[in-house]
Amino acid sequence: MNEALRQTKTHLQELLFQHGINPRTNLGQNYLIDLNIVEYVVEQAHIGSDDVILEVGTGTGGMTAFMTYDAAHVISVELDRNMHALASAQLGDRENLTLMRQDALHNKNRFADEVLAEIEKQLSVDPRRRLKLVANLPYNIATPIVSNLVVTDLPWERMVVTIQLELGLRMQARPKKSTYGALSVWLQSQCYVKLLKRLPPSVFWPRPKVNSAIMQLVPNPRGRDTIADRPFFQDFLRRLFHQRRKMLRSVLVGMYSKQIEKPVIDDILQEMKLGEMARAEELPPKTLVELANAIYHKVQEKS
Ligand SMILES: C[S@@+](CC[C@H](N)C(=O)[O-])C[C@H]1O[C@@H](n2cnc3c(N)ncnc32)[C@H](O)[C@@H]1O
């Protein structure tokens, strides 16, 4: 096994001790110490010679090193200065690796411009190149990382990510479940979402307080192409599910009263056969896409 992969608990503890680093829980610094899991994550990504890999959270660089063997290029981003320095020392110079020391997100929301620029640079090397997100994500930013990759026009092909189990269950929840929400609809309308493996806290060091899951997301271009405007749809879902238990009609009137008249909303609901009692949490992703599209077109007509 490669030296950089020797990420067992004692090895990790020694390494961090030598560099005077204490794991920071506020940055989601829970490192994978079960090498079988690291290998499993990388295997599930099916990394090939046209793949540009984005890893958010380099950590000590164990998984990063593993991915450089097969990928066209690996871009790994780490916010913590000490961890970045440690990973740089561990990994040394590799032609197909870019280590970035910075926040992967701008304002905890969209991808940082520097990260986007590096992704675009690496993709532009060859038109066959595709992007994959493969990471043991910092749990506090897992939702914006995954959702915002979906909103971009980047040619991403697969995500294999370790996240909190509770979040993974929300991603794949079906209508009428209490966990079904804006995130479930947003992802399922454009991707095939699959929970690959549940992980106990013991595979990480330090142990997180919660269970985790390895999730796989693969784009569904047919679903994606039906959405009239992705940023509009994202905003629509966020606001709609904010009042998930309220009747759809009153929520929509509240959301769009400044842009379209009530009778127009009633016509849309009638045409879609959505009765007075319908609620967002009962509707499947496909219906919510149709509804958002119909409203989007009316809003566009009026503006
Ligand atoms: C769960 S650890 C995963 C590390 C590593 N891939 C592993 O398991 O071996 C998450 C890493 O993300 C880093 N991190 C936290 N917030 C970040 C952010 N906003 N941008 C980039 N890295 C971040 C943390 O410092 C930490 O090293």
Residues whose beta carbon lies within 6 Å of some atom of ligand 1: 27-32, 56-57, 59-60, 62-63, 77-80, 83, 103-105, 136, 138, 141
Q: Looking at the predicted structure, is the pLDDT value of residue 4 above 60?
A: no
* Rounded Cα gap, residues 79 and 26, in angstroms: 12
On whether the CB atoms of residues 71 and 51 are closer than 8 A, the answer is yes
Residues 121, 268 share a domain: no
Nearest to 29 by CA among 7, 73, 59, 51: 59
According to the model, what pLDDT value does residue 9 have? 82
Residue pLDDT, tens place only, 8-58: 888 888 889 888 899 998 899 999 999 899 999 999 999 999 999 999 999
pTM confidence score: 0.94
Mutate to test the pocket of ligand 1, among 7, 19, 77, 79 (most ligand atoms within 8 A of CB): 79
**Which residues sit opposite 212 in a β-bridge?**
164, 199
Domain-terminating residue out of 190, 223, 256? 223
Distance 208 CA to ligand 1 centre (A): 14
Q: Are residues 199 and 242 in the same domain?
A: no
Q: pLDDT band for 303, please (50, 70, 90 cuts).
A: confident
For residues 150 and 259, is the Cβ–Cβ distance under 8 A?
no
Q: What ipTM is given for this predicted complex?
A: 0.99
Q: Annotation-wise, does 136 bind a ligand? A: yes
The answer on pLDDT for 6 being more than 70 is no
Q: How many CB atoms lie within 10 A of CB 279?
A: 17
pLDDT tens digits along 231-273: 999 999 999 999 988 999 999 999 998 999 999 999 999 999 9
How many folded domains does the chain comprise? 2
Query: 262-271, pLDDT tens digit by residue?
Result: 999 999 999 9
Nearest CA to ligand 1 atom 19: 103
Long-range contacts of 91-99 (CB under 8 A, 24+ apart): 91/4, 91/61, 91/64, 91/65, 94/68, 96/68, 96/71, 96/72, 97/64, 97/68, 97/73, 98/73, 98/74, 98/122, 99/58, 99/61, 99/64
pLDDT in tens, 150-177: 988 999 999 999 999 999 999 999 999 9
Residue ranges of E strands in the chain: 31-32, 51-56, 73-78, 97-101, 105-106, 110-111, 130-136, 156-164, 191-199, 204-205, 212-219
CATH number at residue 281: 1.10.8.100
How deeply is 272 buried, as exposed, middle or buried, from its count of CB atoms within 10 A (0-12, 13-18, 19+)?
A: middle
Q: What is the mean pLDDT of residues 99-124?
A: 96
Residue in 166, 137, 105 with CA at minimum distance from that of residue 30: 137
Diameter over CA atoms, the chain:
69
Distance 77 CA to ligand 1 centre (A): 8
On the question of pLDDT at 1 being above 50, the answer is: no
Let me know whether 247 and 214 are in one domain.
no
Query: What residue type is assigned to position 48 of the chain?
Result: G
pLDDT at residue 295 is higher than 50: yes
Span from the CA of 16 to the centroid of ligand 1 (angstroms): 14
Is 99 one of the annotated binding-site residues?
no
Residue 274: give the domain boundaries: 230-302
Residue 147 and residue 99 share a domain: yes
- CATH number, domain of 139, equals 3.40.50.150
User: Are 242 and 216 members of one domain?
Assistant: no
CA of 42 to the centre of ligand 1 (A): 17
Ligand 1 centroid vs 135 CA: distance in angstroms? 9
Residue 130 DSSP symbol: E
Residue whose CB lies within 8 A of the most ligand 1 atoms, among 78, 101, 134, 143, for a mutation test? 78
- Name the token pair of 177: 């479940």
Residue with the nearest Cα to atom 4 of ligand 1?
Answer: 59
